[in-house]
Amino acid sequence: MSRFEGKVAIVTGAAQGIGAAIARRLANEGAKVGVVDLTADRAQGTVDQIVKDGGEAFAVGADVSKTADVQAAVAAVVEEFGRIDILVNNAGITRDNLLFKMTDEDWDSVIAVNLRSAFLMSRECQKHFVAQKYGKIVSLSSRSALGNRGQANYSASKAGIMGLTSTLAIELGPFGINVNAVAPGYIATDMTDATARRVGFEPEKFREAAAQMTPVRRVGTPEDIAATVAFLAADESSFISGQTIHVNGGADR
């Protein structure tokens, strides 16, 4: 498939898990990908896999919660590939705790990485998108945006992604830019495995329990999310904007 032939994408938080799957999917369909993570070394594994599979990718190290790093990262991708067409705001962390135990640092770090980064990256990339009258922004929200015990910071950041998405769609739509979000349910990743251990479960048992609460009777994979992101980043979805697509196997919680 070559839906993204001639297109250049940036994916943040792409060293592993969902971000890596998104980067690989876009590359497999023809995009050149700027693989962004905290350090270039962390991102290199995803780049190596893309190149092994016959694609083109470039590793970029950046703290995407910092303006200067974001500006440098976007400039590096433009210098390497000549343009930007697709931005995927995937970078995210958790610092789970109940409200009375949550520290200022727990709150600030999650809001910075999960929400501020999406604002900064979108603001920087839209300069290129507006000039070329074309662009796709897809950001990662979460089912936790609707509330989840022990995740006041994470839930707030992911609800913020929904609001940011709706607003940017209104502002940027007249310039040929689509802005959408994907809200995953339970996805089997290192992050959800760490959550399982935090609450006293073995990851495999936690996945089994989650599958039983999901109508399709399985948990999601990073590839499930990558497929949805690819659809929203493609021209076939050009009349979809300002939406948050829930990808959760029909689960209601």
Say if residue 104 is exposed, middle or buried (CB neighbours under 10 Å; 0-12, 13-18, 19+): exposed
Q: Decide if 134 is catalytic.
A: no
- Of the candidates 4, 129, 154, 186, the residue annotated as catalytic is 154
CA dist., res. 170 & res. 178, Å (int): 9
Instruction: Kindly state the helix (H) or strand (E) to which residue 23 belongs, with its residue range.
Output: helix 17-28
**Could you tell me if 145 and 161 are in contact, meaning their C-beta atoms sit under 8 angstroms apart?**
yes
Classify burial at 247, counting beta carbons within 10 Å of its beta carbon; exposed 0-12, middle 13-18, buried 19 or more. middle
Q: What is the Cα–Cα distance from 143 to 147, expressed in whole angstroms? A: 8
In sequence order, what are the beta bridge partners of 12? 36
Distance CA(193)–CA(204), nearest Å, equals: 8
CB 92 within 8 A of CB 14: no
Which residues are part of the catalytic machinery?
Answer: 154
